[in-house]
């Protein structure tokens, strides 16, 4: 007997655990974003005084946006890895009895096998009957 929530089977979680370790929030990305924001503030100040070009300002602004998107992508990847890791365990949805049922090819087949001779007779009948109709 199993109770709802009992562990029934588990797939090897180590590959997914390794991915989740490698996908910890990247502090380097966060540090780069903080630095890029500081540089953007400096460029804004310099642009007001006409010491920085609009191109420098646009480039720095785009870099900040790029790093924000990178951090969001890292977070999404971490979430996806957590979902995959969760799929490695199969738990009983309800309480009850469980077991293994072996199945064979015959059980899975819904249409009985017909001998080849009966198939060819049916084909020749249909061909001759269509010839008579013409």
Q: Whole domain around residue 79: which residue ranges?
A: 1-99
| pLDDT number for residue 88 | 86
| pLDDT number for residue 70 | 92
* Residues 29-74: tens digit of each pLDDT: 899 999 999 999 999 999 999 898 999 999 999 999 999 999 998 8
- Please give the C-alpha separations between residue 37 and each of 40, 43, 57, in angstroms, as whole numbers: 5, 10, 11
| pLDDT number for residue 100 | 65
| pLDDT number for residue 108 | 54
d(CA 85, CA 15): 9
CA–chain centroid gap for 35, Å, is 33
Report pTM. 0.56
Do the domain assignments include residue 64? yes
* Residues 69-106: tens digit of each pLDDT: 999 988 888 888 888 888 888 888 888 877 666 555 55
pLDDT at 9 over 90: no
Do the domain assignments include residue 1? yes
d(CA 118, CA 19): 57
Do the domain assignments include residue 92? yes
d(CA 24, CA 82): 11
Do the domain assignments include residue 109? no
Return the higher-pLDDT residue of 30 and 20. Answer: 30
Instruction: Give me 51's structure tokens.
Output: 């010491």
The pLDDT-based confidence of 134 (bands split at 50, 70, 90) is very low
Do the domain assignments include residue 21? yes
Do the domain assignments include residue 91? yes
| pLDDT number for residue 90 | 85
Number of separate domains in the chain: 1
* Residues 115-133: tens digit of each pLDDT: 555 444 444 444 444 444 4
Do the domain assignments include residue 108? no
């Amino acid at each position: 007997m199993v109770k709802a929530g009992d562990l029934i089977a588990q797939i090897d979680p180590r590959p997914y655990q390794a991915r989740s370790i490698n996908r910890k929030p990247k502090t380097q990305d966060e540090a780069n974003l903080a630095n890029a924001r500081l540089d953007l503030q400096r460029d804004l100040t310099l642009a007001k005084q006409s010491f920085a070009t609009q191109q420098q300002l646009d480039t720095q602004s785009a870099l900040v946006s790029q790093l924000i998107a990178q951090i969001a992508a890292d977070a999404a990847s971490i979430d996806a890895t957590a979902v995959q890791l969760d799929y490695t365990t199969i738990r009983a949805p309800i309480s009850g009895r469980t077991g293994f049922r072996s199945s064979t090819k015959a059980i899975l087949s819904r249409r009985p096998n017909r001998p080849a001779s009966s198939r060819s007779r049916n084909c020749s009948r249909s061909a001759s009957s269509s010839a008579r109709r013409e």
